[in-house]
Amino acid sequence: MRLIKKISRMRDYSKKIKGTRVIGFVPTMGSLHEGHLSLIRKARQQCEEVMISIFVNPTQFGKGEDYQRYPRDLSKDMKLSEKEGVDVIFAPSREEMYPQGYSTFVEIKGNLSSTLEGASRPGHFKGVATILTKLFNIINPDYSYFGEKDYQQALVVKKLVKELNLDTRILVLPTIRGKDGLALSSRNSYLNKKERTAATIFYKVLKRAKEWVGEGEKDPSALVSKMRALIEKEPLVRIDYVAVVNPKTLEKVKEVRGEVLALLAVNIGETRLIDNIKLADS
Ligand code: AMP
């Protein structure tokens, strides 16, 4: 396994490989867990060369967010990656990706990026779109792997790739959860014991919402109210948003018909977590 820190070396290496071996790419912010590893394993199955990036991208964090304290552990990530058969880790420095005077950004306008996470974290998707455009240009992967846990991000990335004619195929894989249902996230490491227990409410609520729909609930506002009421029983949790939307456009639905998506974002103490589930009427 190679660890590459310089853009020029990464680019040269990819250029050599491209066209002779199928390149699978998993962009991450490191602090790898089973969620990331599931993407890496899929890439390993489907591609000849597996590359991952580890970069805590400053431009996707807002003021007062957790950029500084975001967990970083490159040597542990290297061990995990090696075990999964990763060929290359691209782990550039902040200076390498955003040298002094850097001022070029990619922005996706419209509802898809301005709603939900976009509304709560202004500038977030601009940072995501910018770093991914840079990474796709440097690495030039045939396939790029993303997790459904960050559902809106996956939609935004697909739109980015389509509209800027970027030459990579986006694959989106299911959310990996702990035994208690909590979606794995690098940010779970911030939670203390009480908060970790409280956090199990999210998946319970999402699953309960699925049951309500199965039992015939068609009214999205009633569904959202019931979900909020359940979450509010947990005193450690503050709701950012609970939404029931069209899974393609992320627009609010008037009725639960066919497939809809329930998403939530909450704060527990200092930790912000998101999750989602598909609901379908029967
Ligand atoms: P991150 O390091 O949090 O930026 O995540 C890197 C990639 O891993 C993104 O595509 C995430 O959606 C994905 N990911 C994070 N957590 C999970 C999870 N629990 N299950 C599946 N994919 C995940």
Q: Is 38 in the pocket of ligand 1 (CB under 6 A)?
A: yes
pLDDT value for 78: 98
Torsion of CA 103, 107, 113, 118, to 10 degrees: 20
Instruction: Tell me: do 132 and 254 sit in the same domain.
Output: no
What is the CA(219)–ligand 1 centre distance, in A? 31
Say what the pLDDT of residue 282 is. 63
Residues 71 and 150 in one domain: yes
DSSP state of 150: G
The C-alpha atoms of residue 7 and residue 166 are separated, in whole angstroms, by 18
260: CATH: 3.30.1300.10
Question: Are residues 75 and 128 part of one domain?
Answer: yes
The 10s digit of each residue's pLDDT in 92-130 is: 999 999 999 999 999 999 999 999 999 999 999 999 999
- 205 and 159, same structural domain? no
Q: What is the reported pLDDT for 53?
A: 98
Are 95 and 138 contained in the same domain?
A: yes
User: Are 75 and 201 members of one domain?
Assistant: no
pLDDT of residue 238: 96
The answer to whether residues 202 and 109 belong to one domain is no
Ligand 1 atom at minimal distance to the Cα of residue 183: 19
Catalytic residues: 36
Residue 185 CB less than 6 A away from ligand 1? yes
Residues of the chain with pLDDT below 50 are none
* Cβ–ligand 1 contact at 36 (below 6 Å): yes
Q: What's the CA-to-centroid distance between 174 and ligand 1, angstroms?
A: 10
User: 43 lies in a domain?
Assistant: yes
Encoding tokens for residue 130? Answer: 């910018």
**157 belongs to a structural domain:** yes
124 CB near ligand 1 (under 6 Å): no
CA distance 212 to 7: 50
Q: What's the CA gap between 230 and 190, in Å, rounded? A: 23
Quick one: 18 and 132 in the same domain?
A: yes
Confirm or reject: Cβ of 237 under 6 Å from ligand 1: no
Q: How much is the pLDDT for 179?
A: 95
Residue nearest (by alpha carbon) to ligand 1 atom 17: 35
Closest-lying ligand 1 atom to the alpha carbon of residue 32: 2
Residue 263 backbone phi and psi in degrees, to 5: -130, 150
* Sign of the dihedral through C-alpha 64, 183, 110, 244: negative
**Mode of pairing for the β-strands spanning 237-245 and 259-268:** antiparallel
Same domain, 28 and 134: yes
Let me know if residue 221 belongs to a domain: yes
Tokens of 92: 């550039």
DSSP assignment of 101-126 equals T--------SHHHHSTHHHHSTTHHH
Cα 206 from chain centre: 18
| Residue 178: inside a domain | no
Overall number of domains in the chain: 2
Helices within the chain (DSSP H only): 7-17, 34-46, 74-83, 94-97, 111-114, 117-120, 124-139, 151-163, 193-198, 201-214, 220-232
Residue 7 is which amino acid? I
Q: Are residues 20 and 140 in the same domain?
A: yes
Among 120, 150, 173, identify where a domain stops: 173
CATH of the domain at 147: 3.40.50.620
Q: Among residues 173, 194, 222, which one ends one of the domains?
A: 173
Residue spans of alpha helices (H) in 143-219:
151-163, 193-198, 201-214
Report how far residue 2's alpha carbon sits from residue 138's, in angstroms, rounded to the nearest whole number: 16
pTM recorded for the entire structure:
0.97
In a domain, 180, yes or no: no
Identify the domain boundary among 125, 144, 173. Answer: 173
**Same domain flag for 199 and 252:** yes
Verify that 125 and 10 share a domain, yes or no: yes
Asked, for residue 282, whether it belongs to a domain, the answer is: no
* Predicted pLDDT at 280: 85
Domain that holds residue 42: 2-173
